[in-house]
Every structure is written in C-alpha cells, then in structure tokens.
Amino acid sequence: MQNSLKRDLKSNMDNFNLNFKKKVDTEISETEYDNDIFNKKTDDISSKKIHAMNTSLGDIIIELRNMFFIILELISINKSPLPFIFSTNKRKYVFSIFLIVFGCLLLLLSSLMMEKKVF
C-alpha cells in the first residue's frame, strides 16, 4: 500500500514537473524583447566577447583609488561621473568592485553599530 502511494506521488510530481517545464519553455519562446540594448548585451555574452579582467589585485586597487579621486573631482565641479565610469570595460569592472567593497563595508559597519547599540 505504501509503495503504491509513493509510486503514485512520484508519477504525479513527474507529470507536474514536465507540464511546468513545457509551460515555462513556451512562455520563454513566445516572449520577445523589444529592447535592442538587452539583445546586444545577451549577444555579447553568448558570443563570449566579454572577458574577465586579467589584472592583479594591486593594479585593481591602484585603478580603484585613481577612479575614486577622479569621481570626487567630477562631483565637486557638478559634472556627472557616469560617462567616465562607463567609458571602458576596465572602468566598469573597477567600479563594480568598488560598489561591492563599499557595500560590504557598510554592511559590516551597520552590523557593528547594531551590536553595540549605538542608535
């Protein structure tokens, strides 16, 4: 009795999974993205034109420091730093590392402040 119940449950789950997979596949195939930028990015990724930066950690830290000071200068003269950041792939890479490090530091700081009950 228990074996047949397990078998029925397994077959129902298999049928459910197959039906769900078919439904998702049809929805994906019917969906068209109108955004040309999105299509270009996915084409770049699928054709592997985007490579990871093969630079050492020291070079990344130096680039990060230089970029940080240039961004501060641009902000001080009321210019947008976005064109500078997005001008090359290396600057995008360094800026993304900056955001990750800055976010981790803020998370660490907030957890320390909550632990010490500063607020």
pLDDT greater at residue 43 or residue 80? 80
Q: Are 17 and 10 in contact (CB under 8 A)?
A: no
pTM of the model: 0.52
> What ranges do the domains of the chain cover?
2-46, 57-116
Token digits of residue 66: 């230089």
Average pLDDT of the chain, as a whole number: 75
Share of the chain above pLDDT 90, in %: 15
Residue at 73: amino acid letter: E
Give the mean pLDDT of 11-21.
Answer: 70
Q: Which residue has the tokens 């995008």?
A: 92
pLDDT over 90 at 39, yes or no: no
pLDDT in tens, 62-106: 888 998 899 999 899 999 888 888 888 888 888 998 999 999 999
Q: Are 73 and 103 in contact (CB under 8 A)?
A: no
